[in-house]
Chains A and B, each alone.
Chain A
Amino acid sequence: PGFNLAAGPGQPTEVLCLLNMVTPEELRDDEEYEEIVDDIREECNRHGAVRSVEIPRPLEGVDDVPGVGKVFVEFLSVSDCVKAQQALTGRKFANRIVVTSFYEPERYHRRDF
């Protein structure tokens, strides 16, 4: 697909980006959104200490909110994040296969999704 997939995850960080997990429709619903956050936080916490979770939501009247469809989880340490990635990648969430990548912490804190 135009890039080297065998290259692996690259340099680990303490922020994990989880992809192919949620849809804009699900995130619009308040109750569903809360449940999704709970499910993800709870499972991530079993593999490493979670510091924060960000799940961008679509906004009424805004076409393209950056990061909608992605889930970001910040761990206390890089090693917690690595453990969580190994445990969660390829698992199913809402019947979708979870895809993961490390994310630059600096971009995460700038909310550059």
Chain B
Amino acid sequence: LGGEKKKKRRSRWGGDEKEKTFIPGMPTVLPANLTKDQEEAYLVQFKIEEITRKLRTGDLGIPPNPEERSPSPEPIYGTDGKRLNTREYRMRRKLEEERHSMITKMISLNADFKPPVDYKPPMTRVSD
């Protein structure tokens, strides 16, 4: 139905119907009666755990099909001639940054929050 009108693009849904990702201790079904604050805090924590899982497992979400990947920036090479800004490196940096902002937010919501063990706050650049 309507298949002719435009080229079939790829859906944002990943995997098939049986492919589910579960994070221990973080259910994906929430009760309907949460307050806005409870819901927000849960989703921030969920995001932190979700990113932590990606970083730990290396399941970074890089599309296997190169045509679906975003354009690469100009390569930057290290002194050993190896490329520094690889896709994996850039993806990890992006995830680390997102996780950092979520952790900062979580600490503002709950002072007792314990960040994941593999989390290091980014180094603050000292300007002179």
Q: A residues touching B (Cβ–Cβ < 8 Å)?
A: 1-5, 7-11, 13, 17, 19-20, 35-36, 39, 42-43, 85, 87, 89-104
B12 and A91 contacting across the interface, CB-CB below 8 Å? no
Interface size class of B (residues with CB under 8 A): 20 to 34
Cα separation A40 to B24 with both chains bound (whole Å): 26
A33 to chain B, nearest CB (A): 12
Given A1-B41, A9-B29, A99-B30, verify A93-B21 contact (CB < 8 Å). Answer: no
Q: B residues touching A (Cβ–Cβ < 8 Å)?
A: 9, 11-15, 17, 19-23, 27-34, 38-39, 41-43, 45-47, 50, 61
Cα separation A8 to B31 with both chains bound (whole Å): 6
Given A1-B38, A95-B61, verify A101-B32 contact (CB < 8 Å). Answer: yes
Given A20-B46, A90-B20, A91-B17, verify A36-B12 contact (CB < 8 Å). Answer: yes
Cα separation A90 to B42 with both chains bound (whole Å): 15
A17 to chain B, nearest CB (A): 8
Can you report 23 residue pairs joining A to B where beta carbons are below 8 Å apart?
A3-B31, A3-B42, A4-B31, A5-B30, A5-B31, A13-B32, A17-B32, A39-B12, A89-B28, A89-B29, A90-B21, A90-B22, A91-B15, A91-B20, A92-B14, A96-B50, A97-B23, A99-B28, A99-B29, A100-B29, A101-B29, A101-B32, A103-B32
Cα separation A7 to B32 with both chains bound (whole Å): 10
A100 and B31 contacting across the interface, CB-CB below 8 Å? no
Interface of B is mostly: loop
Cα separation A39 to B12 with both chains bound (whole Å): 7
A42 and B11 contacting across the interface, CB-CB below 8 Å? yes
- Contact among B13, B27, B30, B46 with A39 in the assembled complex (CB-CB below 8 Å): B13
Cα separation A4 to B23 with both chains bound (whole Å): 17
Cα separation A4 to B76 with both chains bound (whole Å): 49
